[in-house]
Structure 1
Amino acid sequence: MHTDQVAELAGELRVALATSTRRIRSRRGGADLPDPQFNVLAILLREGPLSPGALADAEHVQPPSMTRTVNALVELGLVRKSEHPTDGRQVVVSLTDAGEAEVRETRRRRDAWLAAQLAVLTPDERRTLADAAGLLRRIAAGTAG
């Protein structure tokens, strides 16, 4: 494949992935959270309780922005803040049962939408996508070469 063809494929894949991601992310749980708030819940489910600073680092945002996000999630009852075990000046953010349920429901809805899209494809098309998923994971990890 020539350099121009590789560049053209890169553009086509970028658009297809971005559009697919937007369609998947539009499926939300009952709280209809914006992506930054949902991402915090997902991080807390995966990592466990974290400080607002660690959450800001994980999301590559400034601490004041994360403080606003966390406060909004506290108001919704999806996370709780508690005293840091070793530093009384800090707090730790953790999921509530409602926050965990929101993550699981959002993921269920997103998976269901994507499964419905995959169900109408042929078995060969699904095999092609299964192969592509592995390649995309390698690209995302920077180990495609």
Structure 2
Amino acid sequence: MPDLSHGEDAAAVNTLRSSIMLLGRRLKHQRVDESLSPAEMSVLGLLSLCGSASPGELARKEHVQPPSMTRIIAMLEAKDLVRLEPHPDDRRQKIVTRTEQAESMLAASRAKRNRWLTELAGQLDDDEWAKLRAAAPVLEKLAQT
């Protein structure tokens, strides 16, 4: 494993961190439904990615306290974006499932964000685009770790 804490490597890590954070913030603003908070969008995205889950599982994956997740789920349910269903094994628990309305909204949001990124990447020259395209799987690996 390389030591990335010194010199040019440390500078590259710093640039990577700040660039990813800035792009992430800018991407969050490319939403279709402005009435949803970033936390609500994040939970919907997680449900889309991972499928239905209990509130406790969602809280763990989102790194929030269970009462906070309960409030987020209640807001999403009031907007008809999720529904609570009985847990198949434990009647005391519920499973949170996204609705078709949520899927449509998420698809539209993904399309809007992809258009925005396409426009941004269109400003790159061919060599820069090739490097970014080659880096995409590596960034995905880091994001999944």
Q: Deviations over 1:14-43 (max 9, x none)?
A: 111111111111101225422211111112
Aligned to 2:97, the other structure's residue is in SS state strand
C-alpha distance in structure 1 between counterparts of 2:34 and 2:12, whole Å: 37
**Any unmatched runs of 5+ in structure 2?**
none
Moved more, 114-123 or 63-72: 114-123
Aligned to 2:109, the other structure's residue is in SS state helix
Matched, 1:22 2:31: no
C-alpha distance in structure 1 between counterparts of 2:51 and 2:22, whole Å: 31
**Any unmatched runs of 5+ in structure 1?**
none
How far is the alpha carbon of 1:4 from its aligned partner?
A: 1.9
C-alpha distance in structure 2 between counterparts of 1:27 and 1:12, whole Å: 23
Matched, 1:81 2:84: yes
**Counterpart code for 1:13:** L
Query: Please, which of 78, 95, 98 is the counterpart of residue 95 of structure 1?
Result: 98
CA 1:12 to 1:46, structure 2 compared with 1: closer, same or farther past 3 Å? closer
> Are the aligned partners of 1:31 and 1:102 in contact in 2 as well (CA < 8 Å)?
no
Moved more, 133-142 or 84-93: 133-142
Matched, 1:39 2:42: yes
Matched, 1:53 2:56: yes
1:116 aligned partner: 119
**Counterpart code for 1:125:** E
Higher RCO (Cα < 8 Å, 6 or more apart): 1
Q: What is the count of residue pairs matched by the alignment? A: 142
CA 1:5 to 1:33, structure 2 compared with 1: closer, same or farther past 3 Å? same
TM-score of the two chains, using structure 2 as the length reference: 0.87
CA 1:14 to 1:70, structure 2 compared with 1: closer, same or farther past 3 Å? same
2:73 aligned partner: 70
